[in-house]
Structure 1
Amino acid sequence: MNQIEVEVNQTIGQMSLEEYQLNCIRETIAYAKENAPFYCDLLANAPELKTLADLQKLPFTTHNDLRNSPYKLLCVSLTGVARIFSHFTTGTLGEPKKIFFSESDVDRIVRSMAAITANVIKGSGMEIPDTKIGIYLPNQGLPLSMAEMIARGARKIGADSYIGGCKDTTENQINEIIANRPQVIMGSAFRIWRITQVGREKHDLRKQGVKALFITSEYLSSTMRARLEKAWGATVYHHYGMTEPGFAIAIECESHNGFHYNESDLYFEVIDPETGEPVADGEEGELVFTSLHREAMPLIRYRTGDIASITRKPCPCGSELSRIGTMPKKIGLIYQLDTGEDIYSSLFDEALYELDDLVDYRLWLCRKNGLDHLHCRAEIIGADQFFSNRMIDQLKQIPAIANAIDSGQMNIPTVEITPRETLRRGGKGMKRKIVDIRDENEAEEIG
């Protein structure tokens, strides 16, 4: 039984999980209607929930609500807010979203992070007191930054940790890892990948004592996972995190067969993104969650924009908890070619990280000679004069790109090799996205 399942069983006691969730949702709705003007209006005519299925009769909460009416969603006074996260996330344009957390909300995040971290440590065959975790995630906006809350979770279970310098050069980050010798390295996929690619030029990473790589924040391609594990001689654990539900959402177990999440803290649905109707168990759709215990800003039927599936079949690890499947795309970051086919970042990650000397890349979708045109900037290790051609060949392996080229509706992609460290990401541009500038003038050059 994994640590998340232990937490769920201890929380619900003798009740069934469904009964517990229904009671919590009823209480959350009553609390939100009483304290948040937004929900007082939105749920004024909400029917009584007799079953969990009745939740589908309630309206959704969206990204726009967090941008346009954040203070109307607040259920406590501003003096009761311990931390506000105000930021642009993937697919967000215009005003940033504001998400509020109280002290009790922060405590719950820390407890969840502790359980998730324990899963990674135990799943990797380590003992918690002997484990040091290197955290390479944003530490800005103290106190209660993302990195600090994770460090608190590590301390809660008795593990050691340090917060790495995310703004340092990659070489400095590598030297920091070598000096601290963590058994677990935690960070976003793009940051750990960059550290790995640059680090293996001068160091044998397998000799650094790392047993687990705790990857979060971004899609992790199958190729990236395999190459990371080979480079470090460590097991990769992928984490699903998102600010709105409280960062620490779900983690893989040692079976690596989906993300386990705390069902006593979050209730997930999967809907058809076009109709809003529920999809069948195991089918892909948009993830929607309802928070069950949030104090400052409870969210009811919040549309995440993440496309995934949920399965309720038992996991090979023995857990009976539901699992979230892989998340290949986000609704706001899907782009349609002139052929009518969709493209999104994970398609390119799967294809391009087959190139073992690729560090990072950027994509622009523009018009050239009246046709769709894909331009790529790439940062590589080494100096392969044929890399651009190899990368173009990989791009042409993506079915949507191949079909567009073959039908005469897309040019052959172009690739530009950039100097080292020029594609480092952070802040608003942290997560990868395709930059679609087709509505602008035809571009001979990408600015």
Structure 2
Amino acid sequence: MRITPLDAWIAGKVGHQGELLTRSAIQAWQLNRLRETLALVREKSAFYREHLSAAPTELGRLDDLAQCGFTTPEDIAREGQRMLCVSQGEIERVVTLDSSGTTGAAKRLYFTREDQELTIDFFRVGMSTLVEPGDRVLILLPCERPGSVGDLLAKGLERQRACPLKHGPVRDLAETLQLLAQEKVDALVGVPVQVLALARQRNDQARRALRLQSALLSTDYLPPAIAVALEEAWGCRVFDHYGMTEMGLGGGVQCEARRGYHLREADLYVEVVDPATGREVPEGEYGEVVFTTLTRRGMPLIRYRTGDLSRFIPERCACGTALRSLEPVRQRLSGRAALGASLTLSQADLDDALFPFAEVLDVRAELSHQGDRDHLSVLVRTVPGAGNALRPRLKAALWSVPALAEAQSRGVLDLALQVDASGYAPPLSAAKRAIKDTRGPTGMSKSEQCLSRAGSCR
């Protein structure tokens, strides 16, 4: 098994001269970059001058960062321009995101040319985990606009001497499958449910013509059942990528061990904290992922609350790197719906129950309150002709989910299942899949209510 290519890349960035990268070298670099970043934002950003006014002016060690307040999505929506550390003329790319917070205001993220170069370089190195020079790589992500994720990925692949093929999100399954075969694609990058629909398309001729060796899935959480389905259908290796626009699109990627994400630790300082108290949790325990940018100059982010839930895997990775491994993210704080007094349900729970069925293409759910009971509506999209025979099996699988079974036994939940056997439907948005909870704040756990109130848990 090869060591992750991020190891040598980060060793070069942090100036490590030894044979193997060490944690002490990484942490020394991170501490110096944190000091520089805090000095930069205090000098250049009106927002951070106020936000960090009570924080220590000098960090003696990495743990001291905990004395700096969190930055939240609501902060970006309200104060985005005041976070800038450069003039507007130096901004190369502005990305507008719909906010899932309480204000409803859009978030705008600002990137300089140099900031985007950092992402391109990460894509160049990270993709070398699964792509060799000369490989043909189909990009099933937005790539029309300069600076979009697909555009930056293509540039990174070109620098790796691979051949990127810009396609965009999957709209027509037959057309994309034909392209995969005709172009002799070696690897693809795409969204989990879209790539699953390709693999479950009943086209034996196109499947036999494929020579796909690997797939990298991104932009949404990867249910294990989808990874298994792709490997069984195509005989390829499936890798998971972690990132978000706020991170500069790239955050971490799996190595050949495919256990957790190795993070770009020369560019990001990542913490896992208790979402209710804000305190860092012991290594190996679950909490909310929080990150600080170390090398970004346009719009640095200090202790940004992602809302993602994960943990650092305590054991060293089998690939041999000193880089930490973040367990694959399966759910978000805002994606956990409370059922009664002590039960919670997430999109991951539904995915684990339903995606193992070979006919299933997508799973969507909405939770509402009707009378004195919660009402869960689940829409399952399947391959054409799945028929009514599948419906009772899906219903039984849903009732096997512990939270749903317990809610049913308590008499606090009704379940409605709709099966749409019309086949694949092109995506209407790039939003991550999550249970749509229309019940309001009463459907949130205590930690989620804390996160939803901007600044209340800082």
Q: Deviations over 1:116-165 (max 9, x none)?
A: 101122xxxxxx2231110001124x211110000000001110011114
Tell me the equivalent position of 2:134: 130
For 1:56 and 1:365, how far apart are their aligned partners in 2? Answer: 36
1:427 aligns to 2:393 (yes or no): no
For 1:432 and 1:394, how far apart are their aligned partners in 2? Answer: 19
1:401 partner amino acid: L
Q: How does 1:218-297 map to 2 (within 5 A)?
A: 218-297=220-299
Tell me the equivalent position of 2:211: 209
1:288–1:301 Cα contact (<8 Å) kept: yes
The match for 1:59 among 56, 60, 69 is: 69
Q: How does 1:42-441 map to 2 (within 5 A)?
A: 42-47=51-56, 48-88=58-98, 94-121=104-131, 128-140=132-144, 142-166=145-169, 168-198=171-201, 200-203=202-205, 205=207, 207-311=209-313, 313-368=315-370, 370-381=372-383, 382-411=385-414, 413-418=415-420, 420-421=422-423, 423-427=425-429, 430-438=431-439
1:43 partner amino acid: L
Q: Deviations over 1:287-335 (max 9, x none)?
A: 1111100010011111111111113542111111111112121112211
TM norm structure 2: 0.90
Q: Deviations over 1:170-212 (max 9, x none)?
A: 22222222222211010111211122222x4444525400000
Deviates most, 355-364 or 395-404: 355-364
Deviates most, 283-292 or 357-366: 357-366
- Name the count of aligned residue pairs: 430
Deviation at 1:426, TM superposition (A): 3.5
Deviation at 1:423, TM superposition (A): 4.4
Deviation at 1:410, TM superposition (A): 1.4
1:313–1:320 Cα contact (<8 Å) kept: no
For 1:391 and 1:91, how far apart are their aligned partners in 2? Answer: 33
Deviates most, 218-227 or 149-158: 218-227
1:2–1:119 Cα contact (<8 Å) kept: yes
Deviates most, 277-286 or 44-53: 44-53
For 2:96 and 2:68, how far apart are their aligned partners in 1? Answer: 27
1:147–1:163 Cα contact (<8 Å) kept: yes
Q: Deviations over 1:351-397 (max 9, x none)?
A: 11121101112212123453222212222113322222111111101
1:399 partner amino acid: P
The match for 2:30 among 13, 18, 21 is: 21
Deviation at 1:254, TM superposition (A): 0.9
Identity within the alignment, %: 29
**Kindly tell me: are residues 101 and 365 of structure 1, through their superposed partners in 2, closer, same or farther at Cα, counting changes over 3 Å?**
same
* Structure 1: runs of 5 or more not aligned: 122-127, 441-447
1:359 partner amino acid: L
Deviation at 1:37, TM superposition (A): 0.5
Deviation at 1:90, TM superposition (A): 6.2
Q: CA RMSD in A?
A: 1.9
For 1:91 and 1:418, how far apart are their aligned partners in 2? Answer: 31
For 2:238 and 2:329, how far apart are their aligned partners in 1? Answer: 16
1:82 partner amino acid: E
For 1:313 and 1:421, how far apart are their aligned partners in 2? Answer: 42
2:6–2:125 Cα contact (<8 Å) kept: yes
For 1:240 and 1:92, how far apart are their aligned partners in 2? Answer: 25
1:5–1:262 Cα contact (<8 Å) kept: no
1:420 partner amino acid: S
